Structure 1
């Protein structure tokens, strides 16, 4: 089970993840209370344990901005969390494929799930992994709202996928007993008053890895 802690933005956050070693951390470049710049990301990444992969989260951003940010921040994964189309994804992957510096960069696509048809459509996209998140009219992610597991259980998903949306220490084991994702993406569930909490990170990572 892969673990991603998203919304990293402080030096303390890096200290916490270096201690407990999730597989991935996410830096948010879209408008958000957790947003950081590519320059800030690069500073934080220099302090990061090299075993942890970095994911850049983008929402309806231009290809030029995605590529320039990925280069500056030296990201391992580009996570598209908006309304990006199949054509957009193909153009992005073509740019990555033809770039010496970026050819190994992965592309993930977040799907804001309202119903099974969202999963079916998302599963056809030319990406390396999906991230299934809860739907909200107000935000593209990070709301703390849980996803309807019955929709996922009734769907056949060919792609590897991360599960996101309101995961925390109180619901993680029950969630993983009902669905079997490739990984889990946790953000607000390891925060206190809007900031990453060392003890919550420790508890949920240990809980998942003991499963």
Structure 2
């Protein structure tokens, strides 16, 4: 099970995610309670080993701006939310970067198709709400079968194992589900989430 812990902003939270076994760590470089600057990301990367993928998260920024900001932060992965196009995917790859393209449950069917992104992320219909949703509904999305994709939205240490199985997800992504308060990560919850996801995958 591939596990991404997102919205990290402190050395302690990055180290906890890495030491717990996360495969990727996300840094929010767009307006958010979890926002960090490119300089902060550059410093936090000191605690990220080569086996873990650091990812810059963007929402409505033009793709060219996202690429420039990610480069300034020292990142090779970009996660794009918002209304995107196949041309945006090509632009990221032409820049020599890898892409996670995020869509929300309830988006038009064509957005679930393979546009050439490295990973697709499926979020709740209302991203950031922290509420769980009908994860089992993802198992019937034909466009996802046989592909690498991440389940997100409303996940926490208590439900990640069952949710990922119900959805037939290849990986999971969490942010608010491992927080003590909005934008503040709880180290124990990070550890519990990663262990729950990984343990269920090998059970």
Q: TM-score, normalised by structure 1?
A: 0.85
Greater relative CO, 1 or 2 (CA 8 Å, sep 6+): 2
Q: Which runs of 5+ in 1 are unaligned?
A: 97-102
Distance between the aligned counterparts of 1:92 and 1:14, measured in 2? 25
Specify the SS of the correspondent of 2:138: helix
Query: Are residue 209 (structure 1) and residue 198 (structure 2) matched?
Result: yes
Distance between the aligned counterparts of 1:38 and 1:205, measured in 2? 26
Deviation at residue 60 of structure 1 after TM alignment? 2.0
Query: Are residue 108 (structure 1) and residue 96 (structure 2) matched?
Result: no
Deviation at residue 135 of structure 1 after TM alignment? 1.5
Quote the residue 1:171 is aligned against: 159
Over aligned residues, Cα RMSD in angstroms?
1.8
Q: Between 59-68 and 3-12, report the one with greater CA deviation.
A: 59-68
Specify the SS of the correspondent of 2:55: strand
The correspondence for 1:187, drawn from 169, 175, 183, is 175
Quote the residue 2:77 is aligned against: 77
**Maintained 8 Å contact 2:121/2:152:** yes
- Deviation per CA, 1:158-208: give whole Å up to 9, x if none: 431000001012211221231221210011111111211111111121122
**Maintained 8 Å contact 1:147/1:164:** no
- Deviation per CA, 1:132-159: give whole Å up to 9, x if none: 00112xxxx3331324224312211143
Q: Which runs of 5+ in 2 are unaligned?
A: none
Q: TM-score, normalised by structure 2?
A: 0.88
Distance between the aligned counterparts of 2:63 and 2:153, measured in 1? 26
Quote the residue 2:123 is aligned against: 133
Query: Are residue 62 (structure 1) and residue 54 (structure 2) matched?
Result: no
Distance between the aligned counterparts of 2:162 and 2:18, measured in 1? 27
**Aligned residue pairs, count:** 197
Quote the residue 2:132 is aligned against: 146
Deviation at residue 42 of structure 1 after TM alignment? 0.5
Distance between the aligned counterparts of 1:86 and 1:161, measured in 2? 17
Quote the residue 1:122 is aligned against: 112
Specify the SS of the correspondent of 2:57: strand
